């Protein structure tokens, strides 16, 4: 879990907004928890944040931020005690949800409608999370999210990574990239 948390932390850190290197903005806790494979409710996130705040030293963390090491312990405490948080819905459950969001007798949902449902209702996802989930499920030819196709991907553990994932660090065995040599001078006239 530590390695996964640090990878998720590096992605969140790219957004900026941190005052100190080992801090996490409290608003990014849902993204970190979902990156670990959990399906948290707002109450679970609030429990993690409140427990982490209890052990924070205000002298060492900026207001509204949490120490990454303390946060990791609190995530483990909260989510290790509740196995239902890593429950993944079945294909049939997901198809039923998508049908409830679509007009009757339609086997797909428009990406904008799915985005609105993901970001405006219940436990909402961030813009980036919703965009990634839609990009994974959107048919390239029709630009629609087909219920059965999306449910199959979302219900499985083999959700593909989006195509624009950027490596957060260069592996130590690869040398850093060097600037290309300058072009040769033009031939004399």
- Within a domain: 121: yes
Q: What is the pTM of this model?
A: 0.52
Q: Are residues 95 and 60 in the same domain?
A: no
Q: Six-digit token pair at 71?
A: 């946060």
Q: Are residues 97 and 51 in the same domain?
A: no
Query: Angle 162-87-127 (CA atoms, 0-180°, nearest 5)?
Result: 40
Determine the average pLDDT of the residues in 127-147.
Answer: 87
**SS3 of residue 29 by DSSP:** helix
Q: How far from the centroid of its chain's Cα atoms is residue 124's Cα?
A: 12
Q: Are residues 108 and 148 in the same domain?
A: yes
**Domain endpoint, select from 86, 119, 135:** 86
Percentage of the residues of the chain whose pLDDT score is greater than 90: 16
Distance, CA of 98 to CA of 106 (rounded, Å): 10
Sign, CA dihedral 56-53-123-157, equals positive
Distances (CA, A) of 47 to 40, 74, 150, 188: 10, 9, 31, 73
Q: Are residues 80 and 99 in the same domain?
A: no
Domain assignment of residue 144, given as a range: 91-155
Can you give the pLDDT at residue 143?
A: 93
Can you give the pLDDT at residue 95?
A: 93
Can you give the pLDDT at residue 63?
A: 79
**Domain endpoint, select from 63, 86, 109:** 86
Q: Six-digit token pair at 185?
A: 């001078």
Q: Are residues 81 and 98 in the same domain?
A: no
Q: Are residues 70 and 110 in the same domain?
A: no
Distance, CA of 97 to CA of 94 (rounded, Å): 5
Q: Are residues 144 and 119 in the same domain?
A: yes
Beta strands in the chain (DSSP E): 23-25, 65-67, 108-109, 145-146
Q: Are residues 129 and 76 in the same domain?
A: no
- Write the pLDDT tens digit of every residue in 27-56: 888 877 777 777 777 788 888 899 898 888
Q: Are residues 82 and 105 in the same domain?
A: no
Domains held by the chain: number: 2
Q: Six-digit token pair at 182?
A: 């300058």
Binned at pLDDT 50, 70 and 90, residue 166 comes out as very low
């Amino acid at each position: 879990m530590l390695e996964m948390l640090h990878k998720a932390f590096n992605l969140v850190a790219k957004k900026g907004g941190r005052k100190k290197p080992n801090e996490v903005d409290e608003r990014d806790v849902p993204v970190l928890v979902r990156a670990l494979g959990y399906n948290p409710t707002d109450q679970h996130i609030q429990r993690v944040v409140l427990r982490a705040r209890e052990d924070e030293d205000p002298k060492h963390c900026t207001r509204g931020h949490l120490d990454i090491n303390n946060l990791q312990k609190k995530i483990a405490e909260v989510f290790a005690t509740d196995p239902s948080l890593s429950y993944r819905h079945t294909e049939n459950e997901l198809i039923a949800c998508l049908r409830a969001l679509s007009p009757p007798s339609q086997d797909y949902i428009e990406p904008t409608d799915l985005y609105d449902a993901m970001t405006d209702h219940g436990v909402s996802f961030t813009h980036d999370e919703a965009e990634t989930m839609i990009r994974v499920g959107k048919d390239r030819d029709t630009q629609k999210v087909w219920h059965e196709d999306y449910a199959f991907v979302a219900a499985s553990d083999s959700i593909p990574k989006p195509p624009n994932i950027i490596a957060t660090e260069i592996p130590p065995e690869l040398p850093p990239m060097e600037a290309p040599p300058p072009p040769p001078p033009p031939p004399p006239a």
